[in-house]
Amino acid sequence: MEKNIELKMIDKKQVPDTEPDRQYYYMEIAKEYIRQLSELKGEPLTFHVSTFGCQMNARDSEKLVGILEQIGYVEKDTEDADFVIYNTCTVRENANNKVYGRLGYLNGFQKKNPFMMIGLCGCMMQEPVVVEKIKQSYRFVNLIFGTHNIYKFAELITTAIESSFTGNSHKKGSSMTIDIWKDTDKIVEDLPIERKYTFKSGVNIMFGCNNFCSYCIVPYVRGRERSREAKDIVREIEKLAADGVVEVMLLGQNVNSYGKNLEPQISFAQLLQEVEKIEGIERIRFMTSHPKDLSDELIDVMKHSKKICKHLHLPLQSGSSRILKIMNRRYTKEQYLELVDKIREAVPDISLTTDIIVGFPGETEEDFEETMDVVRKVGYDSAFTFIYSKRTGTPAAAMEDQVPEDVIKQRFDRLLKEVQTIAARKAEVYTGTTQKVLVETVNEQDEHLVTGRLSNNSVVHLPGNADMIGKIVDVRLNECKGFYYIGEKVS
Ligand code: SAH
Ligand code: SF4
Ligand code: F3S
């Protein structure tokens, strides 16, 4: 990208070395650069953040947006913006391919807009081969950082602006700012965050994962497990509540092991009880619960809670104890089923959802039938089904006996059909009842309708308007349409 935009480097005399002060210092500097660039362009600079992957990434993107807005960028819905960031996921191969495909398209915009910068972050950037490939083939990318140093975004963006628009910026290809850390034990609090929704929010309670399921790349790209201090979490949620949030989703790769590295130790169930006390918070969700660590204490807290939603996402991955062992999941089919019984006994109307992988190396027809058996026995309200994807560097990638594609495809289709049949049957049970619904959006297809969710996460459409967004209303569920309800507000 040829640029003829020239900024004067701002002196950085007293950079604080403590966080978050350091980042606030850089935000001021970046703000000044953005002011000057906007002046040169003759209009405010815009940004667009595209998020791939899980809730964790969605929350991280809100942190990026918080800082971008703080320094003077204005959000835009489309990717023809002055700063486009892809917050990437690498849990399955197809997530990666999507990013490469779209980078070429972004380059087209950049050629036409000398102010445009492109940034890449997230899990995919924690893989050295990916960064190498971008360095080789996508020289137009201006900024690359990873999952561990996202809190440094203000500082990184300042460096990227300086290397793109000051002094040596005319040296072609010299303007790629790269900063990737292998791991960190650092958690930085109190940086700006811009929520996507006014009334609900994700809240990180822990980062990283120590489980090393043999197929999974997450522990390698998100680092070791570390929990946030309970007081910081509670303080954040209190602030959210004061700002109009009624629903929080507590986020972690394995929330059930929350608090293990804290002094004094605190369990996830204890944390939930603290969150329950926060006035203004009406609904509490959490994601994800590893079956091996789901305690009786947690089940008891769920049973007595008035705010914890009647929904539990309990990833199965496989129903075969033999495969589960090779997956390093550390529970058996029987233990999983017992756990489900215990939960259902304590909270009878709970909705259960899951993740299942089809075609893990060595999966036989018998193994697959065990999975189908669990699906039928549990009767999930919904399930995410994935075709096994080989992730380089994970133990499973080196296993022999990778299952042929056509066999996987055939099993996948059978599983999907079973899951859908059961889910449709489960969905009907609340037809005719009146339930509490949190209204989330105006319906995209019909502006006279609003869309919301039951405590068990089912979707409901009902007549209404934008004033209802963020409110919890009583709704009679008149009709079930397979995966959603049509209802009406009752007063
Ligand atoms: N921490 C969560 C999962 C995070 S990844 C948990 O333990 O449940 C989300 C889902 O992606 C996983 O539950 C798994 O079903 C799926 N997944 C992870 N690695 C995968 C792979 N290599 N191939 C296919 N699916 C995978
Ligand atoms: Fe991956 Fe397993 Fe950790 Fe979940 S618990 S993130 S599946 S390693
Ligand atoms: Fe993907 Fe990273 Fe989440 S790999 S699933 S975005 S933790």
163, 221: one domain = no
End residue of a domain, out of 414, 429, 444: 429
* Residue 95 alpha carbon to ligand 3 centre in Å: 10
137, 200: one domain = no
Domain count of the chain? 4
413, 320: one domain = yes
CA within 13 Å, CB half, 117: 29
End residue of a domain, out of 179, 211, 238: 179
* Residue 55 alpha carbon to ligand 3 centre in Å: 8
Average pLDDT, the chain: 95
pLDDT at 77 over 50: yes
pLDDT at 379 over 60: yes
Which residues have CB under 6 Å of ligand 3? 53-54, 56-57, 89-91, 123, 218, 221-222
Q: Whose CA is nearest to atom 1 of ligand 2?
A: 216
Q: Cα-Cα-Cα-Cα dihedral of 384, 57, 454, 419, to 10°?
A: 0
Tell me which amino acid residue 138 is.
Y
Strands 200-204 vs 247-251: parallel, antiparallel or unpaired: parallel
Mean pLDDT of 210-228: 97
Cβ 290 under 6 angstroms from ligand 1: yes
Is 7 inside a domain boundary? Answer: no
Mean pLDDT of 94-106: 92
Is 346 inside a domain boundary? Answer: yes
Count of beta carbons in the 10 Å neighbourhood of residue 37: 21
* Residue 216 alpha carbon to ligand 2 centre in Å: 6
Give the range among 55-59, 165-169, 356-360 with minimum mean pLDDT.
165-169
For 253-293, the pLDDT digits (tens) are 999 999 998 999 999 999 999 999 999 999 999 999 999 99
The DSSP code for 82 is S
For 410-419, the pLDDT digits (tens) are 999 999 999 9
170, 221: one domain = no
| Calpha distance 467→29 (Å, rounded) | 39
What CATH number does residue 443 fall under?
Answer: 2.40.50.140
Is 305 inside a domain boundary? Answer: no
What CATH number does residue 319 fall under?
Answer: 3.30.750.200
Angle formed by the axes of helices 21-41 and 55-70, nearest 10°:
60
Of 318, 329, 321, 254, the C-alpha closest to 289 is 254
Best residue among 215, 216, 218, 288 to mutate for probing ligand 1's pocket (most ligand atoms within 8 Å of CB) is: 216
Band of the pLDDT at 487, cuts 50, 70, 90?
Answer: very high
Best residue among 123, 211, 222 to mutate for probing ligand 2's pocket (most ligand atoms within 8 Å of CB) is: 211
* Residue 224 alpha carbon to ligand 2 centre in Å: 11
141, 100: one domain = yes
Is 3 inside a domain boundary? Answer: no
pLDDT at res. 172? 45
449, 467: one domain = yes
What CATH number does residue 254 fall under?
Answer: 3.30.750.210
Ligand with minimal distance to 127 CA: 3
Is 188 inside a domain boundary? Answer: no
Ligand with minimal distance to 60 CA: 3
Is 301 inside a domain boundary? Answer: no
pLDDT at res. 75? 98
Best residue among 290, 294, 357, 392 to mutate for probing ligand 1's pocket (most ligand atoms within 8 Å of CB) is: 357
pLDDT at 1 over 50: no
For 19-40, the pLDDT digits (tens) are 999 999 999 999 999 999 999 9
Point out the ligand 3 atom lying closest to the alpha carbon of residue 54: 3
pLDDT at res. 483? 85
Mean pLDDT of 424-442: 94
Q: At a CB cut-off of 8 Å and minimum separation 6, what does 97 contact?
A: none
Point out the ligand 2 atom lying closest to the alpha carbon of residue 222: 6
> What is the rounded radius of gyration, in angstroms, for the C-alpha atoms of the chain?
24
470, 398: one domain = no
480 is in an annotated binding site: no
* Residue 269 alpha carbon to ligand 3 centre in Å: 25
Cβ 253 under 6 angstroms from ligand 2: yes
Bridge partners of 120?
86, 144
Is 302 inside a domain boundary? Answer: no
Point out the ligand 1 atom lying closest to the alpha carbon of residue 211: 7
What CATH number does residue 121 fall under?
Answer: 3.40.50.12160
Is 9 inside a domain boundary? Answer: no
Domain of residue 114 covers 21-179
Ligand with minimal distance to 392 CA: 1
Three-state DSSP class for residue 175: coil
pLDDT at 175 over 90: no
